[in-house]
């Protein structure tokens, strides 16, 4: 008897061919999505910190300027993280008994530094320089998001190469007047595309070098 | 005359290919259209004898090739000129000579896929189950025997009449094919 | 089709022993798959499998330690892995050549050898495909050579011949596979109809896709087969041309030469046919296929080897002439360095193995003597491997600045990786003859019918 | 490693030691603080080094633990640790590209650790520079050391220092590796067991009273050459306190002959300072003044400045060199003659005689042609007051005396020659001094022997028997202060770890007497002590810090008032003002008779041998420095070994091939050593360099090479006659980085004479019509598939900067400083002898050495070769992933993190300047197991992982730094604002880098020179780095320069060359 299969196999076998095709495409799609998902990029992921420091409170609440703590942001590649004594300059007067701040006081007593968990962490082969971005009028907000609205610090952007390139290709999308670099919110951005282009000229932003590999990798 | 629903058609078994060819011609003259011949190897003139016109497969293949090649060149141009233009060894962004090999390869690839899947699609394959397999003797279709099947859905089909007609072709044997 | 001039060659040798019927050929070929295998099969498989294990062991060590375990160095940045790659891919060509080009040329004698020649192609290409991956410094990112949407916004560098290779080889592998599979469909049906084993029925049945030898199907089938052959023909020429460009595009003296593409294709077909002969001779003997694979086939293959071998020889001559005539000091130096330098043995090796050895095929007696054929085919393959050694290593080890000149010496791991790949090939090939008809059954039936007319 | 890592890590270091960095003015910022209690506790518990690696680890400061973790780049770490590898294997097995692309994307959480109290001067991410000085053989070279948040990472020359002028030699460049050397001694040792400083103090305290009572009889101090004013002061104080004590000096590569020569000529010790910047004719009597002499970095600069023609004014000085073994001076010389050492004396006499020095006598050297001699004499006569005759350090006193006499005769004194107070604290004959010590040791006169640095048990001639007498019972107590637990420490009762000069305070004098303050950049990693501390202990001022000792001394010199200002300035500038040695008026009191002592040196006949300091490990002190061990020796390109150099003729006579082992017999002492055939080696003389065959150097240096001290004679340290050389039949693998010494008639190094140049500046065009001098990196138009701009990159816009480099081959002396500078700047790994033998060395910059002409005395050409940054880069075209592409400023960018490692770029690179990480080379120097080595890394340069290509980047990290600073205020980058590491280190300023778009830049100017050409420019690669043809200034009466390739030693190559020649011949 040459009849090996049940009639239903006809539909089934045809289905499998398209099915296989579909599965492959789906897999590729999912993979791409995952690669860009918070699981990998860690966007909006909160991290355990020794002290639950609130940027929201200190920035919008108390109106402290970024540079008060991140002292070297204008001069160095590294923005700088406040030394314990900086915290203590206020917190030796206010909230000086709050249990939340005990780690800070302890660090100050023992001389053992606080150990924060990095939120914005680039791969080791990427050389990012804060000072030049500040100097060219790229606001903190452009990469770090609305820090003034973050009770706990979290990553606002994927920090993936494609994301960096978007801006290095068209800086006008992020550029702002230098006085607004450390401000947040829509009113801190230049109103029109024309303004942005003007600022590009004023700040002397030359785009084609921004796409050179060695601008970020060495 | 109404067609019996419980029969797919009638099958005649022949010793040689020539017999089948002859039978096919006669059946076609007799006005049968919904029929098919089966041979263990491509039998020349059989499909013509059964009144089969030329296939559209070449066109399908050509389209596949053009899509592959066109797509390839577009990708190359887009990647090198639009997406991320980079100075490579001082060559122009749109260095067309370097784009030819890939374009060619992808044309061939596209065409080949089109040819294979086109053939399968036009042949309605895969189709693991088919009524003709219900005839035990049909196994020899893939060895050394030749078969002619006239389907019941042929307007000229009539169980008795058609059987008589087939007998007239001096086959080895005639079977009823169940759906 | 029924033209007797073609069925009986001038040599008077038949392409098929007379007296065979549809039934007899069908039974003979399918029985190979359906009855138990001879001891020799088990032996061959064991050898292949052992070597395969060696391959896996070397590869594991390689990935764990780095390609530093090989002898590769600066200036000789490429060595064994690329030699093996080119060697294997070259061997692959014969299969496609036989099944596609000979089909278009209506050569009947292709019928009983094209199936396993194509299989050989597939397995050779899969061996070849591994080496470019393994020779990477960081194999785990090999996929960067393919275009796909990524978070880096980067593309492959499409001007690089290596990227052309990726497309050429993968296309070649795919198309060969399709071609091979299309050829297999009717035979799958045959096996489905013959086997009594339920499981086998289902497997072959699925692969046969419900093929039922319908006239209409045959019609489109032949059209598709013809189209694929037509497509595979330029492909077979392009693949090794592009492999040739891997070298020709570079400015390295001894590489930078327009003759490379044709010269590589000729060499590829040359070594490929040698491999087919190497496989045919023992197979027809072990499985008693003398009826189907007659001396006629061997004779023809020998002629092809003679022709292509001579082309290769011509290529060698050209290289020397160009070097002299161009007046380019770097080319001249390499040419002479090949003949007298540290690797002179390899150069004279290829002259003997590839240019001279095949000349023996002018003698009919040698063409039709299986022993001679077998030996020469082995010599040829060695020679073709050496040819790639000469092209790659001697050119690189002494290029432009004398200060950078340095000798290259392979390590034990270079050899194990190479032998291992042969193991992979043998393993695959023995599995193939165990489970699939090594000769196209339906085409044999066609042949029978032609003869019987 | 990214700068983030750098900052993070360093910050933790600082955080770990803030209190101390603030309070303690003694240590430059970034010093570390240890819990000494804990350390001592653990020390007394632990035994054997395997228990711990460093004090940090010992003290378990959390900072250091993370520091290690962070300092490792994840990229490298991923396949450095086994787990990561297995992970990859799984991926491969699955061979899923997708899986691969996602497998390792997620980063582990990382910590970031701020200061507790932030010091003002520190800006994280910005390095600080501190002036200090390094000494070699006692003489100081001023340096500026880069400090990345407390980690010294790179040493540069100090432009204000007379011996440096901003440049350095290879040793100085490599010194920073020695600082972090994990094999350095890390604890006090007592009779091979770990012990503590305190118990050493008590042990010594037990001895001192007795010694004092005996006026110090039995107390012996052994030092190397001492120029440190403070140390000298301490020694003087000690000798005053204990008049019976003795101070001995021994320097294995010292200047006994120079001193004796001066004494012979003038009856007193004076130092000679040469003013090459004023000399038009220089005659070297076996003197390699470009290398290894005190002040030779400065001399090289002065000498070369006098022969730079690229700059336009076509004047050159002329150099005659008579040398026994090829040296740097011989390579750059306008006329070089290889002669046996024994012939130098007659030659000197002959010269002196002809120049009218009565006392000279009329000797006539055998192998020196009249013609040459006449030429030299005439030149000298023609340039009275503007010439220098200089005798080699090794040459016997008489030759020096004759040289002084000649210079006097030519009234060069006061013009090109200055005689000054010796910079040494106490000039004396070291050979005699050490001899006296050994005799007393034998005689049991020595109760307490304190060895301050140095390694006499190894580097004194074996025949002296220092080691033998050191271990005999008669020396009651021997104390050795040294950085390694070396041959000598092993034989002494006590070993005290010494501090590296980057870890300690101190002072030293330069060749011209100028004093420098040595300041530390980091607290001792391994608790090292200084000689000053040890002296204080002997002086009964235990635990007086070096800093105090130092200040006390200088306070005495300067006086209380405004000492503060003086001190800040001296420390900041790196030079102490007004300390240059005062000139001396000397009277020539020299009768020309050969001193008795010298007669025996060259007595008898037979083969002669020359001992030389090694160009890479000096006297052996750098044996454990991987960078220097892997550094190819300038002329032989030999690495990881020393060998006895023989002339081609000797090889022919003795049937010797490279690598054949021979047995040398010098005065009954035997040594088996491999031979290396050196074109230009004088016949009848073989040479062997010191410093190898160490038995206790460390993991890198132990057992490398062959110990020349074993056969070094005591009476004449540098030469011996009557050497027997016997072929043993055994072979030994010697590894060189350049196998082939001829240019194969290729247009690699272009050269000519000053005369040619003056007649027609474009004379080179005649031989090379293919190249236009004017813009030689754009050689000529070629047909192209791309009609626009003949294949150039049409979309390129003109940017402010177009980086380019010019290398002046007339100025290059082949000293290798640039090679090590590059290695230090760019975190380049070393790979070891076996890998080098495979041709896998990693230096980005190599110096090719070519010979032209007669194999017995060829012309030598050096060509620094590095990535020339082609505008039409062949490498870029073939990279399948775009890992190497062109930047808008014309840089050939190599992106490590994109590289997949096909090595196609290297194959297609005509200059073969690309380097590949075939294995995980970071592991070679034990980076993986020795965390402190990671502190050495430049945080601005990625550490490359296994399987990626790397190459010269024009020090892009420096370019970027400068660009960022300039762009912040939108100003152009000034010429000279960006210096590449090689350029900065180069003593002769042979390398010039800058912006081609700035017409006024130095580099743009040099590109216009008619001598400018691109190597292999005929390939249309358009190199951005071009070379200036090498010019010679031969004497009109003598042959200009040789032509024709020096034949290869390999018969096969000779056959090839013959065929080629016939081919060419057949055509013309």
DSSP labels, D651-700:
HHHHT--TTEEEEEEETTEEEEEEEEE-TTPPTTEEEEESS---SSS-TT
Nearest-by-Cβ selection for A14 from B126, B136, B139:
B126
Q: What is the mean pLDDT of residues C271-290?
A: 89
Q: What is the mean pLDDT of residues C35-49?
A: 90
Residue D450 contacts residue D470 (beta carbons within 8 Å): no
Asked if the C-beta of A37 comes within 8 angstroms of chain C's C-beta atoms, the answer is no
Tokens of D1056: 């090839």
For residues C382 and C5, give the distance between their C-alpha atoms in angstroms, rounded to a whole number: 37
pLDDT band at D487 (very low <50, low <70, confident <90, very high): very high
**Cβ count within 10 A of residue D20:** 17
Lowest-confidence region among B51-55, C67-71, C365-369, D733-737: B51-55
Report pLDDT for D548. Answer: 92
Lowest-confidence region among A154-158, A188-192, D462-466: A188-192
Report pLDDT for C4. Answer: 38
pLDDT band at A70 (very low <50, low <70, confident <90, very high): very high
Asked if the C-beta of C142 comes within 8 angstroms of chain B's C-beta atoms, the answer is no
For residues B16 and D464, give the distance between their C-alpha atoms in angstroms, rounded to a whole number: 111
3-state secondary structure B49-93: HCCCCCCCHHHHHHHHHHHHHHHHHHHHHHHHHHHCCCEECCECC
Which residues of chain B from 82 to 121 reach within 8 Å of chain C, CB to CB? Answer: 83-84, 88-89, 91, 95, 98-99, 101-102, 104-106, 108-109, 111-113, 115-116, 118-120
Q: What is the mean pLDDT of residues B6-34?
A: 86
Mark yes or no for CB contact B104/C238 under 8 Å: yes
Burial (Cβ within 10 Å: 0-12, 13-18, ≥19) of residue D928: middle
Counting one residue from C and one from D, how many pairs have CB atoms under 8 Å apart?
Answer: 199
Chains touching C (3+ CB pairs < 8 Å): A, B, D
Nearest residue in B to A8, CA atom: B129
- ipTM surpassing 0.90: yes
Task: Label residues B7-38 b or e (16+ Cβ within 10 Å = b).
Answer: bbbbbbbbeebebbbbbbbbbeebebeebbbb
With residues binned 3-state (H G I as helix, E B as strand, rest as coil), the percentages for chain D, rounded to 5, are 35, 20, 45
Mark yes or no for CB contact B88/D885 under 8 Å: yes
Mark yes or no for CB contact A213/D799 under 8 Å: no
Helices (H), D104-228: 170-180, 197-213
Please give the angle made by the CA atoms of A83, A85 and A86, to the nearest 5 degrees: 70
Report pLDDT for C38. Answer: 86
User: How many angstroms separate the CA of residue B112 from the nearest CA in chain D?
Assistant: 25
Report pLDDT for D506. Answer: 94
User: How many angstroms separate the CA of residue C89 from the nearest CA in chain D?
Assistant: 18
**Better-predicted residue by pLDDT, D103 or C186:** C186
Share of chain A above pLDDT 70, in %: 99
Q: What is the mean pLDDT of residues D790-813?
A: 75
pLDDT band at B6 (very low <50, low <70, confident <90, very high): confident
Report pLDDT for D192. Answer: 87
**Cβ count within 10 A of residue A6:** 10
Report pLDDT for C284. Answer: 87
Report pLDDT for D596. Answer: 76
Average pLDDT, chain C: 89
pLDDT band at D95 (very low <50, low <70, confident <90, very high): very low
Mark yes or no for CB contact B129/A14 under 8 Å: no
Report pLDDT for D348. Answer: 92
Mark yes or no for CB contact A17/B129 under 8 Å: no
Report pLDDT for D546. Answer: 92
Report pLDDT for B164. Answer: 86
Candidates C149, C188, C193, C207: best to mutate against A (most CBs of A within 10 A) is C149
Asked if the C-beta of C182 comes within 8 angstroms of chain B's C-beta atoms, the answer is yes
Share of chain C above pLDDT 90, in %: 59
Q: What is the mean pLDDT of residues D336-352?
A: 91
Tokens of D728: 């043993």
Candidates D778, D784, D786: best to mutate against B (most CBs of B within 10 A) is D786
- The string of pLDDT tens digits covering residues C145-166 is 999 888 888 999 999 999 999 9
Report pLDDT for D311. Answer: 59
- The string of pLDDT tens digits covering residues C303-335 is 999 999 999 999 999 999 998 888 888 999 999
Report pLDDT for B1. Answer: 43
Asked if the C-beta of A109 comes within 8 angstroms of chain D's C-beta atoms, the answer is no
Which residues of chain B does D794 touch, with a Cβ-Cβ cutoff of 8 Å?
A: 92
**3-class SS at D803?**
strand
Q: Which helix (H) or strand (E) holds D1013?
A: strand D1012-1013
Report pLDDT for D566. Answer: 92
Nearest-by-Cβ selection for B128 from C205, C214, C221:
C205
Nearest-by-Cβ selection for B91 from D793, D887, D888:
D793
Which residues of chain D does C76 touch, with a Cβ-Cβ cutoff of 8 Å?
A: 839
Nearest-by-Cβ selection for C442 from B41, B122, B130:
B41
Q: Is the model's pLDDT at B61 over the cut of 50?
A: yes
Q: Residue C322: which of C259, C238, C383, C399 has the closest Cα? A: C259
Report pLDDT for D604. Answer: 75
Burial (Cβ within 10 Å: 0-12, 13-18, ≥19) of residue D557: middle
Which residues of chain C does A161 touch, with a Cβ-Cβ cutoff of 8 Å?
A: 151-154
- The string of pLDDT tens digits covering residues B132-154 is 888 888 888 888 888 888 888 88
Mark yes or no for CB contact B126/A1 under 8 Å: no
Which residues of chain A from 13 to 32 reach within 8 Å of chain C, CB to CB? Answer: 13, 28, 32
Q: What is the mean pLDDT of residues C369-394?
A: 93
Average pLDDT, chain D: 84
Output the CA torsion sign for A108, A109, A112, A117: negative
Q: Is the model's pLDDT at D317 over the cut of 90?
A: yes
Report pLDDT for D767. Answer: 63
Q: Is the model's pLDDT at D934 over the cut of 80?
A: yes
Residue D1013 contacts residue D764 (beta carbons within 8 Å): yes
pLDDT band at D709 (very low <50, low <70, confident <90, very high): very high
Nearest-by-Cβ selection for C153 from A13, A32, A161:
A161
Mark yes or no for CB contact C153/A10 under 8 Å: no
For residues B163 and B10, give the distance between their C-alpha atoms in angstroms, rounded to a whole number: 7
Kindly report the pTM of this predicted structure: 0.90
Lowest-confidence region among D23-32, D285-294, D421-430, D686-695: D23-32
For residues B9 and D785, give the distance between their C-alpha atoms in angstroms, rounded to a whole number: 67
Nearest residue in D to C327, CA atom: D1064
Candidates B86, B89, B100: best to mutate against D (most CBs of D within 10 A) is B89
**Going by C-beta distance under 8 Å and a sequence separation of 6 or more, which residues neighbour residue C361?**
C302, C303, C305, C306, C309, C367, C376
**Better-predicted residue by pLDDT, D367 or C260:** C260
Q: Is the model's pLDDT at D858 over the cut of 90?
A: yes
Candidates B81, B86, B87: best to mutate against D (most CBs of D within 10 A) is B87
Asked if the C-beta of C154 comes within 8 angstroms of chain A's C-beta atoms, the answer is yes
Q: Is the model's pLDDT at D313 over the cut of 80?
A: no
Nearest-by-Cβ selection for A6 from B127, B129, B135:
B129
Tokens of B33: 């259209």
- The string of pLDDT tens digits covering residues C414-453 is 999 999 999 999 999 999 988 999 888 888 888 888 776 5
Q: Is the model's pLDDT at C96 over the cut of 90?
A: no
Which residues of chain C does A36 touch, with a Cβ-Cβ cutoff of 8 Å?
A: 151
Mark yes or no for CB contact C153/A35 under 8 Å: no
Nearest residue in C to D878, CA atom: C160
Nearest residue in C to D1067, CA atom: C327
- The string of pLDDT tens digits covering residues D276-286 is 999 999 999 99
**3-class SS at D337?**
strand
Asked if the C-beta of B128 comes within 8 angstroms of chain A's C-beta atoms, the answer is yes
Report pLDDT for D768. Answer: 57
Which residues of chain A does B127 touch, with a Cβ-Cβ cutoff of 8 Å?
A: 10, 13
Which residues of chain D does C256 touch, with a Cβ-Cβ cutoff of 8 Å?
A: none
Report phi then psi at B115, rounded to 5. -60, -50
Which residues of chain B does D880 touch, with a Cβ-Cβ cutoff of 8 Å?
A: none
Q: Where are the beta strands (DSSP E) in D809-858?
A: 846-852
Tokens of D319: 């150099």
Report phi then psi at D803, rounded to 5. -75, 140
User: How many angstroms separate the CA of residue B90 from the nearest CA in chain D?
Assistant: 4
Which residues of chain A does C148 touch, with a Cβ-Cβ cutoff of 8 Å?
A: 28
Q: How many Å is the Cα radius of gyration of chain C?
A: 23
Report pLDDT for D1042. Answer: 86
Mark yes or no for CB contact A113/D1 under 8 Å: no
For residues C89 and C96, give the distance between their C-alpha atoms in angstroms, rounded to a whole number: 11
User: How many angstroms separate the CA of residue C142 from the nearest CA in chain A?
Assistant: 17
pLDDT band at D122 (very low <50, low <70, confident <90, very high): confident
For residues B132 and B153, give the distance between their C-alpha atoms in angstroms, rounded to a whole number: 14
Asked if the C-beta of D914 comes within 8 angstroms of chain C's C-beta atoms, the answer is yes
Report pLDDT for C374. Answer: 93
Which residues of chain B does D910 touch, with a Cβ-Cβ cutoff of 8 Å?
A: none
Report pLDDT for C5. Answer: 36
Report pLDDT for D787. Answer: 57
Nearest-by-Cβ selection for C205 from A4, A28, A158:
A4
Chains touching B (3+ CB pairs < 8 Å): A, C, D
Which residues of chain C does D1027 touch, with a Cβ-Cβ cutoff of 8 Å?
A: none
Residue D40 contacts residue A90 (beta carbons within 8 Å): no
- The string of pLDDT tens digits covering residues D585-613 is 998 888 878 787 777 777 778 899 999 99
Nearest residue in A to B179, CA atom: A7
Q: Is the peptide bond before C75 cis (omega within 30 degrees of 0)?
A: yes
**Better-predicted residue by pLDDT, C62 or D543:** C62
């Amino acid at each position: 008897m040459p009849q090996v299969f049940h009639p239903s196999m006809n539909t089934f076998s045809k289905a499998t061919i398209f099915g296989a095709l579909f599965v492959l495409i789906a897999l590729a799609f999912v993979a791409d999505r995952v690669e860009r998902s918070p699981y990998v990029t860690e966007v909006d992921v909160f991290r355990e910190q020794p002290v639950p420091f609130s940027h929201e409170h200190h920035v919008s609440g108390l109106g402290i300027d970024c540079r008060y703590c991140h002292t070297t942001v204008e001069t160095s590649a590294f923005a700088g993280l406040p030394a314990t004594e900086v915290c203590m300059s206020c917190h030796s007067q206010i909230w000086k008994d709050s249990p939340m701040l005990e780690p800070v006081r302890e660090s100050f007593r023992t001389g053992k530094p606080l150990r924060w968990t990095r939120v914005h962490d680039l791969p080791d082969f990427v050389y990012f320089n804060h000072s030049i971005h500040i100097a060219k009028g790229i606001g903190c907000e452009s990469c770090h998001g609305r820090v003034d609205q973050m009770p706990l610090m979290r990553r606002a952007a994927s920090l993936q190469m494609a994301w960096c390139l978007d801006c290095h290709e068209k800086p006008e999308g992020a550029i702002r007047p230098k006085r607004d670099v450390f401000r947040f919110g829509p009113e801190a951005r230049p109103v029109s595309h024309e303004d942005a282009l003007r600022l590009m000229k004023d700040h002397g932003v030359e785009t084609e070098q921004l796409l050179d590999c060695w601008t970020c990798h060495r | 005359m109404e067609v019996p629903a419980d029969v797919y058609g009638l099958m005649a078994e022949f010793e040689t290919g020539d017999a089948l060819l002859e039978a096919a011609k006669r059946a076609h003259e007799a006005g049968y259209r919904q029929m098919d011949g089966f041979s263990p190897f491509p039998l020349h003139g059989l499909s013509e004898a059964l009144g089969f016109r030329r296939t559209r497969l070449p066109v399908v293949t050509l389209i596949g090739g053009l899509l592959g090649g066109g797509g390839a060149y577009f990708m190359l141009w887009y990647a090198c000129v639009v997406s991320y233009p980079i100075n490579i060894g001082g060559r122009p962004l749109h260095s067309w000579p370097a784009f030819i090999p890939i374009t060619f390869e992808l044309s061939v690839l596209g065409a080949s896929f089109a040819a294979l899947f086109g053939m399968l699609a036009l042949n309605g394959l895969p189709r693991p189950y088919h009524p003709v397999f219900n005839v035990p003797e049909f196994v020899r279709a893939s060895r050394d025997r030749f078969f002619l099947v006239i389907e019941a859905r042929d307007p000229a089909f009539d169980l008795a009449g058609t059987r008589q007609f087939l007998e007239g072709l001096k086959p080895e044997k005639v079977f009823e094919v169940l759906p | 089709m029924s033209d007797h001039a073609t069925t009986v060659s001038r040599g008077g040798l038949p392409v098929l022993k007379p007296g065979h019927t549809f039934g007899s050929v069908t039974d003979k070929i399918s029985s190979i798959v359906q009855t138990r295998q001879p001891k020799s099969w088990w032996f061959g498989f064991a050898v292949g499998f052992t070597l395969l294990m060696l391959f896996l062991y070397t590869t594991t060590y390689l990935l764990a330690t780095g390609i530093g375990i090989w002898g590769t160095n600066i200036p000789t940045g490429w060595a064994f892995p690329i030699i093996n790659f080119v060697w294997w891919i070259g061997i692959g060509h014969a299969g496609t050549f036989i099944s596609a080009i000979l089909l278009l040329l209506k050569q009947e004698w292709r019928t009983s050898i094209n199936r396993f020649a194509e299989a050989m192609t597939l397995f050779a290409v899969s061996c070849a495909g591994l080496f470019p991956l393994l020779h990477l410094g960081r194999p785990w990112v090999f996929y960067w050579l393919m275009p796909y949407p990524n978070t880096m916004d980067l593309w492959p560098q499409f001007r690089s011949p290596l990227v052309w290779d990726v497309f050429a080889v993968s296309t070649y592998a795919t198309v060969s596979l399709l071609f091979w599979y299309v050829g297999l469909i009717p035979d799958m049906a045959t096996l489905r109809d013959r086997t009594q084993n339920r499981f086998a029925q289902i497997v072959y049945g699925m692969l046969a896709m419900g093929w039922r030898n319908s006239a209409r199907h045959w019609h489109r089938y032949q059209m598709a087969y013809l189209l694929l052959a037509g497509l595979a023909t330029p492909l077979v020429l392009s693949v090794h041309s592009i492999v040739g460009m891997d070298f020709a595009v570079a400015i390295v003296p001894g590489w930078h030469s327009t003759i490379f593409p044709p010269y590589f294709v000729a060499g590829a077909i040359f070594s490929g046919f040698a491999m087919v002969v190497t496989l045919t001779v023992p197979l027809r003997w072990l499985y008693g296929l003398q009826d189907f694979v007659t001396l006629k086939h061997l004779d023809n293959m020998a002629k092809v080897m003679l022709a292509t071998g001579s082309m290769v020889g011509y290529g060698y001559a050209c290289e020397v002439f160009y070097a002299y005539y161009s007046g380019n000091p770097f080319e001249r130096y390499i040419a002479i360095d090949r003949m007298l330098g540290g690797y002179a043995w390899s150069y004279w090796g290829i002259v003997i193995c590839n240019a001279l050895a095949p000349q023996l095929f002018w003698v009919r007696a040698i063409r039709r003597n299986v022993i001679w054929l077998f030996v020469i085919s082995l010599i040829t393959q060695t020679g073709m491997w050496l040819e790639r050694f000469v092209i790659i290593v001697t050119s690189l080890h002494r290029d432009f600045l004398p200060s950078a000149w340095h000798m290259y010496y392979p390590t034990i791991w270079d050899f194990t990786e190479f032998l291992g790949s042969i193991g992979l090939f043998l393993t695959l090939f023995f599995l193939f003859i165990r489970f699939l008809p090594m000769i196209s059954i339906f085409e044999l039936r066609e042949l029978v019918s032609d003869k019987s007319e | 490693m990214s700068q983030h890592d750098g900052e993070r890590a360093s910050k933790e270091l600082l955080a770990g030691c803030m209190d101390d960095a603030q309070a303690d003015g003694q240590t430059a910022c970034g010093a570390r603080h240890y819990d000494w209690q804990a350390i001592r506790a653990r020390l007394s518990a632990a035994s054997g080094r395997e228990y711990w690696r460093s004090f940090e680890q010992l003290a378990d400061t959390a900072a250091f633990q993370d520091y290690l973790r962070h300092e490792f780049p994840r990229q490298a770490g991923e396949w450095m640790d086994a787990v990561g590898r297995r992970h990859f294997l799984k991926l491969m097995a699955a061979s899923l590209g997708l899986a691969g692309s996602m497998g390792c994307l997620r980063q582990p959480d990382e910590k970031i650790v701020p200061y507790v109290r932030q010091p003002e001067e520190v800006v994280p991410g910005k390095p600080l520079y501190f002036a200090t000085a390094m000494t070699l053989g006692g003489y100081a070279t001023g340096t500026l050391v880069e400090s990345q948040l407390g980690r010294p990472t790179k040493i540069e020359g100090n432009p204000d220092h007379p011996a440096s002028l901003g440049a350095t030699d290879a040793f100085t460049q490599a010194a920073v590796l020695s600082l972090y050397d994990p094999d350095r001694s890390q604890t006090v040792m007592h009779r091979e067991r770990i012990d503590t400083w305190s118990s050493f103090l008590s042990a010594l305290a037990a001895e001192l009273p007795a010694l004092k009572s005996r006026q110090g009889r039995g107390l012996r101090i052994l030092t190397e050459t001492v120029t440190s004013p403070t140390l000298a002061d301490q020694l003087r104080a000690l000798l005053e306190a204990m008049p019976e004590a003795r101070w001995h000096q021994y320097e294995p590569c010292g200047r006994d002959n120079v001193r004796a020569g001066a004494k012979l000529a003038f009856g007193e010790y004076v130092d000679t300072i040469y003013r090459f910047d004023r000399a038009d004719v220089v005659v070297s009597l076996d003197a390699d003044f470009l290398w290894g002499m005190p002040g030779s970095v400065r001399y090289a600069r002065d000498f070369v400045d006098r022969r730079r023609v690229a700059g336009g004014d076509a004047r050159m000085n002329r150099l005659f060199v008579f040398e026994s073994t090829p040296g740097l001076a011989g390579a750059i010389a306008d006329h070089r003659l290889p002669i046996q050492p024994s012939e130098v004396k007659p030659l000197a006499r002959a010269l002196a005689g002809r120049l009218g020095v009565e006392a000279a006598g009329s000797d006539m050297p055998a192998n020196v042609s009249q013609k040459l001699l006449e030429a030299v004499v005439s030149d000298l006569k023609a340039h009275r007051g503007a010439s220098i005759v200089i005798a080699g350090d090794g040459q016997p006193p008489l030759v020096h005396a004759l040289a002084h006499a000649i210079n006097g005769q030519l009234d060069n004194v006061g013009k090109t020659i200055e005689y000054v107070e010796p910079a040494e604290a106490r000039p004396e004959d070291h050979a005699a001094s050490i001899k006296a010590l050994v005799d007393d040791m034998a005689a049991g006169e020595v109760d307490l022997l304190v060895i301050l640095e140095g390694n006499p048990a190894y580097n004194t001639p074996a025949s002296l028997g220092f080691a033998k007498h050191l271990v005999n019972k008669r020396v009651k107590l021997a104390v050795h202060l040294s950085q390694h637990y070396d041959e000598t420490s092993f034989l002494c009762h006590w070993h005290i770890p010494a501090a590296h000069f980057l870890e300690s305070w101190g002072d030293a004098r330069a060749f011209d007497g100028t004093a420098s303050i040595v300041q530390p950049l980091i607290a001792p990693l391994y608790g090292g002590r200084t000689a000053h501390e040890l002296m204080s202990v002997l002086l009964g001022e235990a635990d007086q810090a070096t800093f105090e000792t130092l200040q006390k001394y200088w306070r005495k010199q300067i006086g209380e008032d405004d000492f503060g200002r003086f001190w800040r300035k001296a420390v900041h500038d790196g030079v102490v003002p007004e300390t240059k040695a005062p000139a001396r008026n000397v009277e020539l009191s020299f009768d020309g008779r050969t001193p008795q002592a010298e007669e025996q040196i060259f007595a008898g006949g037979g083969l002669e041998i020359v001992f030389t300091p090694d160009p890479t490990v000096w006297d052996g002190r750098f044996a454990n420095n991987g960078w220097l061990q892997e550094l190819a020796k300038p002329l032989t390109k030999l690495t990881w070994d020393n060998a006895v150099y023989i002339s081609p003729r000797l090889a022919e006579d003795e049937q010797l091939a490279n690598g054949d082992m021979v047995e040398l017999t010098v005065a009954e002492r035997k040594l088996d050593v491999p031979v290396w055939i050196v074109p230009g080696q004088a016949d009848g003389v073989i040479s062997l360099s010191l410093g190898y065959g160490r038995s206790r150097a460390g993991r890198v240096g132990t057992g490398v090479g062959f110990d020349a001290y074993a056969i070094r004679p005591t009476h004449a340290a540098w030469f011996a006659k009557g050497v027997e050389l016997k072929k043993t039949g055994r072979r030994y693998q010697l590894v060189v980085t350049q196998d082939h010494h001829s240019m194969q008639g290729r247009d690699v190094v272009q050269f000519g004479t000053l005369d040619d140049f003056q007649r027609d500046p474009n004379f080179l065009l005649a031989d090379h019509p293919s190249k236009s001098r004017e813009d030689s990196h754009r050689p000529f138009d070629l047909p192209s598939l791309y009609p626009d701009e003949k294949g150039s990159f049409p979309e390129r816009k003109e940017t402010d900067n177009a980086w380019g480099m010019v290398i002046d081959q007339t100025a290059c002396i082949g000293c290798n400083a640039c090679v090590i500078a590059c290695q230090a700047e760019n975190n380049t790994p070393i790979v070891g002898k076996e890998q080098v033998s495979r041709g896998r060395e990693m230096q980005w910059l190599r110096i090719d050495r070519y010979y032209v002409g007669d194999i017995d005395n060829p012309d030598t050409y050096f060509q620094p070769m590095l990535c020339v940054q082609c505008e039409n880069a062949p490498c870029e075209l073939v990279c399948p992933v775009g890992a190497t592409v062109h930047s808008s400023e014309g840089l050939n960018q190599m992106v490590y993190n994109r590289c997949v490692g096909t090595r196609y770029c290297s194959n297609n690179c005509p200059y073969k300047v690309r380097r590949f990480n075939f294995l995980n080379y970071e592991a070679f120097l034990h980076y993986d197991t020795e965390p402190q080595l990671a502190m050495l890394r430049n945080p601005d340069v990625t550490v490359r992982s296994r399987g990626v290509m790397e190459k010269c980047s024009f020090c892009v990290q420096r370019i970027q730094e400068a660009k960022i600073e300039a762009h912040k205020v939108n100003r152009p980058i000034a010429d000279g604002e960006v210096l590449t590491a090689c350029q900065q280190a180069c003593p002769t300023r042979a390398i010039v880098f800058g912006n081609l778009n700035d017409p006024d830049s130095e580099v743009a100017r040099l590109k216009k020179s008619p001598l400018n050409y691109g190597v292999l420019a005929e390939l249309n690669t358009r190199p951005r780095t071009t070379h200036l043809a090498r010019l010679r200034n031969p004497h009109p009466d003598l042959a200009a320069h040789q032509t024709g390739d020096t034949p290869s030693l390999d018969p096969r190559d000779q056959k090839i060359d013959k065929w080629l020649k016939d081919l060419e011949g057949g055509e013309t």
